[in-house]
Structure 1
Amino acid sequence: MNRIRYPMKIGWYSELSSVEKRSWFASLGGYVLDAFDSTIFSLSMPILLSIGFLVKSEAGVLSSVSLIGSALGGWSAGLLADRFGRIKIMKLTVIWLTVFTMLTAFCNSYWEFFALRFFQGLGYGGEMIVSGVLISEVIRSSLRGRVASTIQSGYAVGNALSLAVLPVVLAYYPPESAWRILFTLGVIPAIIVWWIRQKTPESSVYLGGKKDAGKAKSSTIKIIFGHSYRRITITATILSTGIFGGAYVMITWLPTYLRLSLGLPVTSMSGYLFVNILGSLMGPFICGYISDKLGRWKTIMLFLLLQTGVVSVYMFMSVNLNITLVLGYFLGALQGGLASSTMPAFSELYPTSMRGGGAGFCASFGRGFGSLMPAAVGFLTAYIPLGIAMGSLAIASYAIAFIASLTLPDVTGADLNSVSQQRPVAEKNRQQLEIK
């Protein structure tokens, strides 16, 4: 008797069209590349400190200068994507990021490192913003939250890859040269990502709104700070500042905290970080699903409250290493969920003609302002323990984000496919803010 075989379905992925799937892989790959290259610095930081190449205050500044570059790069790439298309700019950011990451391997001084980290940051920001805009436009509104959020999981994949190669490189090379080799490996995922994007079509929403964008008489900066969008832009930027400020504190300093404050050897540190990465892989899936059901801002507020609790226990209480291991999972899951939530929410607040510039400004400058937090941690460690500095500044960041989220209008599932329907959405945003 012949059995009828039905195609296997994998959740929402099975519901995506071929174009949606290609766009998802193109966006996800950018986050993998971004994370692989950026977390190499965090993983190399204990090495650079131990060999005397850097001191803690310099390490904090290098983390922040990259994030400041990310703010400028993200907004600039968003503006360029509004003018030239999402895919063209996404291919450019891959090349840019790869070149400056490889050049970092040849640094011989702090100031060379400083300059190259800034240029790396330009590429990081461009990757995040344009990928977020593309996926928000391509995915249908009923699935946007859960699909668009999951590209943030690429960060966990890239982080896991860099974490996997760290002990291998250290096993064969001395610390003085191992960190340089790590920075050269970013070219491998870059080639794959660039090839995927070559096969990915442009966003139909962007193509449909291109004529409307060409008729615009005002610049994007004037519009997003004009009467209809000013409060949305400022508040969303503050929200992004809080979310990423807290995230960058933990991402940047957690390897150093585990290695130097808790005294874990490299092999044990890698295990603890892997659990954290596993959480950050799952968090965007959970956050995206909840945001489609509960709404963008309610979900963000929930995750902020939970993350504050986890960080408080992780950093301020004396718990054994087993509990620390478990908490690391939730720390990563909530952190990944919060980071994944911003671009789908911001993209729904702006029309196609200015979506890259508007959403890009909020997310990018939020990252830029939030980037001050890792540097602040570095300076505070001269007066208080590292864990106390990390926990205090992370929680302060989450509080800022929570207050901002209370005042933003929720337009979950807004239709981005019709340019004519986007102006009423913007007007609705303005009216909701005036009522509040």
Structure 2
Amino acid sequence: MVIGTAWLFDAADVALLSFIMPLIKKEWFLNDNQIGLVSSITTVGMMVGAILFGYLADKFGKKNIIIITLLIFSISNLVLALTTNVSQFMLVRFITGIGLGGELPVATTIIADSFSGHKRSKMLILVDSFWAIGWIVASLLAFLFMPIYGWRFTVIVTSVMALYTLVIRRHLPAQTNIKNEKLNLRIALSQIWAKDFRRATICLSLLWFIIMFTYYGMFLWLPSVLIKRGFSVVHSFGYTLLMSFAQLPGYFLAAYLMGKLTRKKVLEIYLVGTIIGAFLFGTAQNTFLVVFSSCLLSFFTLGAWGILIALTPTQYPIEIRGVGIGFTQSIGRIGATIGPYLIGFSLSINLSIATIFFYFVGSLILGIIILIFGMVDKDQKDSLVLE
């Protein structure tokens, strides 16, 4: 619950940005290019934060570092309310992204270090389910609070999450502060590319790239396509809430299947489900199919994200686990940056929706191939089949 709530704050911050961007576009007369940069600068910060704080967590202890990451993006939100132009806004969002990107791998390592076997996989997926709750909180703030008080006061309200660090300081166990002060970043990075971990690092990096490329590409751009086709429902409060709630059973089913099937098999099922959801979402011709396929896509895409979070930390020993998670997720953030820009560019040169969907379907098929033939699940206690 302690780590899950921190995860919730992270998700709420990311979600709120998507609601704030249309407001600053109007307030500061920004063009689509500038809005694209605002969106991507947080992701760039998250790439930096994932590697940096993943390493620092291994070196100075997870409990210390997760408190620092929470403080960084909480205080940054306070400063964000004082920005007066897009340049200041982007600088603050870059710093915010460093904190956000650092918090996720550190939180993951804390859970991975605290449990083992099937329970570890279940707990990692359940912690990730707090992401959906964070989106629900952000939706409530955006639709009920922000129209009355404005985006600046809303982000000030979210900055009170800094106080939550007191809860973390008190309730996280002492073993989360195990330190390895002799650890060197260059050596740690070389270790995850050593013979024993090279295969896992390559496969996990590619899988994170594909998952984030698909998620951010679809969820940021395709609603705009549907709006142009007359489905205004995708910008409604009810639709946003429904999409967020649809994520929860996806997480819960994945957690239930841990121990019933191998993690690789469950992830394969969820990637296939994502392909089906993406196809239905892009070809929907009526409101019912738009809503249904959106829920399906939300169910499988975020569930696959949770399963990959359960799979990643078990591929590395505890001494370099933070670096391993941080590095592979930072590669994924490249996909999160490329995805929306590639879709936007494709739409600007009038490529068909079918062609754009080939990006997603093709990448997801590649992900399934990498998972089946490349990924080896090293956590034998957490698998029904010893590979």
- TM-score of the aligned structures, taking structure 1 as reference length: 0.79
**What's the counterpart of residue 14 of structure 1?**
none
CA contact (8 A) 1:241 1:368 kept: yes
Structure 1 residues 180 and 312 mapped into 2: Cα distance closer, same or farther (>3 Å)? Answer: same
Does 2:194 match 1:223?
no
* Residue 53 of structure 1 pairs with residue 29 of structure 2: yes
| Bigger shift: residues 31-40 or 318-327 | 318-327
After the TM superposition, which residues 96-111 of structure 1 pair with which residues of structure 2 at under 5 Å, given as runs? Answer: 96-111=72-87
Equivalent position SS for 1:151: helix
2:341 aligned with 1:370, yes or no?
no
| Shift, 1:87, TM fit | 0.9
Alignment-derived partner of residue 295 in structure 2: 329
402-411 or 270-279: which moved more? 402-411
Match of 2:253 among 286, 292, 300: 286
Query: 1:45, 1:256 within 8 Å by CA — same for their partners in 2?
Result: no
Aligned in 2, Cα 1:384/1:166: closer, same or farther, shift over 3 Å? same
Conserved? CA contact 1:86–1:203, under 8 Å:
no
| CA gap 1:164/1:218 in 2 versus in 1, 3 angstroms | closer
Q: Aligned partners of 2:146 and 2:204: how far apart in 1?
A: 42
CA RMSD of aligned residues (A): 2.8
Pairing 1:247–2:215 present: yes
User: Shift of the alpha carbon at 1:261?
Assistant: 5.3
Pairs within 5 Å for 1:321-400: 321-384=287-350, 391-400=357-366
Aligned equivalent of 1:204: 175
CA distance in 2, matches of 1:308, 1:31: 27
Provide the residue aligned with 1:37 in structure 2.
Answer: 13
Give the corresponding residue for 2:201. Answer: 233
The residue matched to 1:143 in structure 2 has which SS? Answer: helix
Contact 1:43 1:255 survives alignment (8 Å): no
Residue matched to 1:184 = 156
Work out the number of aligned pairs and report it: 383
Alignment partners' CA distance in 2, 1:39 and 1:329? 17
Q: Distance in 2 between matches of 1:42 and 1:387?
A: 23
| Segment drifting more, 241-250 vs 391-400 | 391-400
Per-residue displacement from partner, 1:186-227 (whole Å, max 9, x unpaired)? 123442x323212223463874xx57x859998111111122
Q: Is the 8 A contact 1:276 1:328 kept in 2?
A: yes
Tell whether the 8 Å contact from 2:83 to 2:89 is kept in structure 1 after alignment. yes
Structure-2 residue corresponding to 1:13: none
* Correspondence for 1:77: 53
Aligned to 1:132: 108
CA shift for structure 1 position 162: 1.0
Shift in Å, 1:137:
1.4
| 1:71-113 CA-partner distances (Å, limit 9, x unpaired) | 2101111110101111111111110011222322333333223
- Note the alpha carbon deviations across 1:363-409, whole angstroms, 9 max, x for none: 22222343221222333332237966874543344234223212110
The separation in 2 between residues aligned to 1:260 and 1:155, in whole angstroms, is 29
How do 1:9-48 and structure 2 match up within 5 A?
A: 25-48=1-24
Q: Which residue of 1 aligns with 2:43?
A: 67
Residues 67 and 163 (structure 1), Cα distance of their counterparts in 2 relative to 1, 3 Å cut: same
2:141 maps to 1:165? yes
Deviations, residues 117-149 of structure 1 (Å, cap 9, x unaligned): 221211111111011111111123231111111
Give the number of the structure whose alpha-carbon radius of gyration is greater.
1
Equivalent AA in structure 1 for residue 249 of structure 2: M
Are 1:90 and 2:66 an aligned pair? yes
Check the 8 A contact 1:81/1:130 in 2, yes or no. Answer: yes
Structure 1, gaps ≥5 residues long: 1-24, 416-428
Contact 2:129/2:251 (<8 A) preserved: yes
Supply the distance in 2 between the matched residues of 1:155 and 1:131 (Cα, whole angstroms): 13
Contact 1:93-1:126 within 8 A present in 2 as well: yes
Q: What is the CA distance between 1:346 and its match in structure 2? A: 1.3
Task: For residue 69 of structure 1, report the CA deviation from its aligned partner.
Answer: 1.5
Q: Any conservation in 1 of the 2:60–2:177 contact (CA below 8 Å)?
A: no
Q: Does 1:310 align with 2:277?
A: yes
In 2: Cα distance, 1:83 partner to 1:133 partner: 13
**Shift in alpha-carbon separation, 1:76–1:292, aligned structure 2, 3 A:** farther
Deviates more, 1:321-330 or 1:73-82: 321-330
Q: Deviations over 1:150-192 (max 9, x none)?
A: 111111111111101222235425xxxx23333222123442x
In 2: Cα distance, 1:88 partner to 1:94 partner: 10
Contact persistence 1:68–1:369 (CA under 8 A) = no
| Higher mean C-alpha deviation, range 147-156 or range 249-258 | 249-258
Gaps of 5+ in 2: none
> Which residue of structure 2 lines up, in the alignment, with residue 271 of structure 1?
238
Are 1:261 and 1:386, in contact at CA under 8 Å, matched by a contact in 2? no
